[in-house]
């Protein structure tokens, strides 16, 4: 549609240009939503009850979604929202499902939401997994080597670690080096 302007459509729907900071209501569907990054765009088909001749894009961030648990939107999900105009364009302020119901969300979850305990995620005080030193129920324990748990030395001078490093160096030596050592 020639001459169609984003600002004019919103201004006309809001009733003029003097109320740029005020919130308006919109309805539409989720155009796309990146669950890993936590943002996407809504395709607004009506604003304040007035159908738009062309859908407008409205930015949406996961923090603005009305729902429990992991916040996301499904592509094509019907939504109602409050929005404002910012320096970057139209931004949603509060997003719900139809009639104020919670959003449904995407069935996709980011890979990082699959909780994996890392090897280092253990208490520095007692060495047990599942809690950290500040939550440890035991009194402060004597300092121990992180490699072999001995109290007689620290990891920098650990004989077990030195032996493991030596074995790794020997196994990583090239076959040519080993052949030269045998000759």
Average pLDDT over residues 10-33: 67
pLDDT of residue 143: 82
Which of 101, 102, 100, 10 minimizes the C-alpha distance to 55? Answer: 10
| Cβ–Cβ < 8 Å for 122, 141 | no
Query: Could you give the number of structural domains in the chain?
Result: 2
Q: What percent of the chain has pLDDT over 70?
A: 77
Q: Are residues 134 and 91 in the same domain?
A: no
Q: Are residues 87 and 151 in the same domain?
A: no
| Cβ–Cβ < 8 Å for 74, 108 | no
- Residue 77: pLDDT band (50, 70, 90) is very high
Distance CA 8, CA 17 (A): 8
Phi, psi (deg, nearest 5) at residue 91? -130, 135
Q: Is residue 84 part of a domain?
A: yes
pLDDT tens readout for residues 20-31: 457 899 999 999
Q: Are residues 99 and 165 in the same domain?
A: no
Q: Is residue 115 part of a domain?
A: no
Q: Is residue 117 part of a domain?
A: no
Q: Is residue 147 part of a domain?
A: yes
* Helix H or strand E encompassing 162: helix 159-172
| Cβ–Cβ < 8 Å for 66, 77 | no
| Cβ–Cβ < 8 Å for 65, 104 | no
| Cβ–Cβ < 8 Å for 23, 41 | no
Q: Give me 18's structure tokens.
A: 């003097």
Owning domain of residue 143: 123-172
pLDDT of residue 102: 92
Asked if pLDDT for residue 2 goes beyond 60, the answer is no
Question: Which of 12-21, 98-107, 129-138, 144-153 has the lowest average pLDDT?
Answer: 12-21
Which of 87, 70, 2 minimizes the C-alpha distance to 33? Answer: 70
Phi, psi (deg, nearest 5) at residue 74? -95, 140
Asked if pLDDT for residue 53 goes beyond 60, the answer is yes
Q: pTM for the whole thing?
A: 0.51
Which of 115, 119, 30 minimizes the C-alpha distance to 81? Answer: 30
Give Rg (Cα) of the chain. 29
Distance CA 90, CA 107 (A): 26
pLDDT of residue 33: 94
CATH number for the domain spanning 100: value is 2.40.50.140
pLDDT winner (highest mean) among 10-14, 40-44, 103-107: 40-44
Q: Are residues 97 and 130 in the same domain?
A: no
CATH number for the domain spanning 167: value is 4.10.60.10
pLDDT tens readout for residues 136-145: 888 888 888 8
For the chain, give the mean pLDDT.
80
Q: Are residues 77 and 45 in the same domain?
A: yes
Distance CA 146, CA 143 (A): 9
Q: Are residues 149 and 100 in the same domain?
A: no
Q: Are residues 102 and 128 in the same domain?
A: no
């Amino acid at each position: 549609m020639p001459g169609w302007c984003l600002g004019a459509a919103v201004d006309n729907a809001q009733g003029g240009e003097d109320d740029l900071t005020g919130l308006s209501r919109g309805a539409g569907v989720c155009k796309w939503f990146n669950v890993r990054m936590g943002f996407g765009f809504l395709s607004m088909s009506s604003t304040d009850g007035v159908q738009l001749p062309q859908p407008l894009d409205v930015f949406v961030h996961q923090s603005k979604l009305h729902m429990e648990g992991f916040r996301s939107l499904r592509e094509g999900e019907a939504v109602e929202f409050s929005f404002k105009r910012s320096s970057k364009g139209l931004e949603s302020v509060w997003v719900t499902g139809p009639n104020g119901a919670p959003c449904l969300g995407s069935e996709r979850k980011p890979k990082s939401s699959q909780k994996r305990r890392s090897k280092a995620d253990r208490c520095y005080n007692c060495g047990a997994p599942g809690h950290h030193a500040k939550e440890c129920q035991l009194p402060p324990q004597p300092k121990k080597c992180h490699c072999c748990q001995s109290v007689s030395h620290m990891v920098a001078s650990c004989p077990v670690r030195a032996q493991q490093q030596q074995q790794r160096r020997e196994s990583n030596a090239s076959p040519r080096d080993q052949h030269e050592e045998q000759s």
